[in-house]
Amino acid sequence: MSGHVYKVVELVGSSPDTIEAAIASALSRASDSVHAIRWFEVVNTRGHVVNGQVGHYQVTLKVGFTIDET
């Protein structure tokens, strides 16, 4: 039985709506070019303020995906 080997990349997703939408945006975009994404970890949350209001949320993620076996 072989174990999985993972590669980890860091992404930043953003959304004017919610933190969850920022996460979904990052994962959706990454899945266009990276296959076998298995997990994510939120490592930082921040935002942009415009006129005293939330302009958009930014979420930094660590994303793990499996390396293809040869």
Mean pLDDT of the chain: 93
Q: What is the pLDDT of residue 2?
A: 64
**Tens of pLDDT along 5-63?**
899 999 999 999 999 999 999 999 999 999 899 999 999 999 999 999 999 999 999 99
Could you list the residue range(s) of the whole structural domain that residue 14 is in? 6-66
Q: Is residue 45 part of a domain?
A: yes
Q: Which helix (H) or strand (E) holds 27?
A: helix 19-31
Residue 60: Cβ within 10 Å count: 16
pLDDT band at 69 (very low <50, low <70, confident <90, very high): confident
Q: Is residue 1 part of a domain?
A: no
Give the CATH number, domain containing residue 13. Answer: 3.30.1660.10
Q: What is the pLDDT of residue 1?
A: 39
Nearest CA to 17 out of 44, 53, 51 is that of 53
Nearest CA to 12 out of 53, 56, 44, 49 is that of 44
Q: Is residue 14 part of a domain?
A: yes
Q: Which residue has the higher pLDDT, 21 or 1?
A: 21
Q: Which helix (H) or strand (E) holds 38?
A: strand 37-50
